[in-house]
Structure 1
Amino acid sequence: MSVGVLPLLLSLVFPACGKPGAQGVTPPGVVDFDHLVLPKTPNKALAAPAGFSPPPTVITPHYRVSQGKLFGIVGEVAASEPRTYKLDAYPARFQAAFVARSKAANFPDIIEVAVRPAPSGGSELILYSHSIYGQSDFGVNAARVKAWLSAIEARVVKDQSAAQ
Structure 2
Amino acid sequence: MSAPISALFGRGGAGLPPAEPLDFARLALPPSPNTCLAAPPGGHPQAHVTVPLLPVDAATAWPVLRRLGEGFPRTTLVRDWPERRQAQWVERSALMNYPDIVVAELVPAPGGAGLFLYSRSLFGWSDLGVNRRRVERWLAALDAALRRH
Give structure 1 regions of 4+ aligned residues with deviation exceeding 3 angstroms: none
Aligned residue pairs total 146
What is the root-mean-square deviation of aligned Cα atoms in Å?
A: 1.3
Matched, 1:135 2:125: yes
Structural mapping, 1:1-164, within 5 Å: 14-118=5-109, 120-159=110-149
**CA drift at 1:28:** 3.6
Name the aligned partner's letter for residue 96 of structure 1. Answer: A
* CA distance in 2 between partners of 1:26 and 1:83 (Å): 18
* CA distance in 2 between partners of 1:71 and 1:25 (Å): 25
**CA drift at 1:15:** 2.1
Conserved? CA contact 1:100–1:111, under 8 Å: yes
Unaligned runs of 5+ in 2: none
**CA drift at 1:155:** 1.2
* CA distance in 2 between partners of 1:30 and 1:16 (Å): 19
* CA distance in 2 between partners of 1:82 and 1:22 (Å): 14
Unaligned runs of 5+ in 1: 1-12, 160-164
Deviations 1:113-147 (A, max 9, x none): 110001x1311100000000010111110000000
SS of 2:14's equivalent in the other structure is coil
* CA distance in 2 between partners of 1:19 and 1:142 (Å): 24
Conserved? CA contact 1:99–1:108, under 8 Å: yes
SS of 2:134's equivalent in the other structure is helix
Conserved? CA contact 1:87–1:98, under 8 Å: yes
* CA distance in 2 between partners of 1:61 and 1:55 (Å): 16
TM-score (norm 2): 0.92
* CA distance in 2 between partners of 1:108 and 1:54 (Å): 26
Higher CA-based Rg: 1
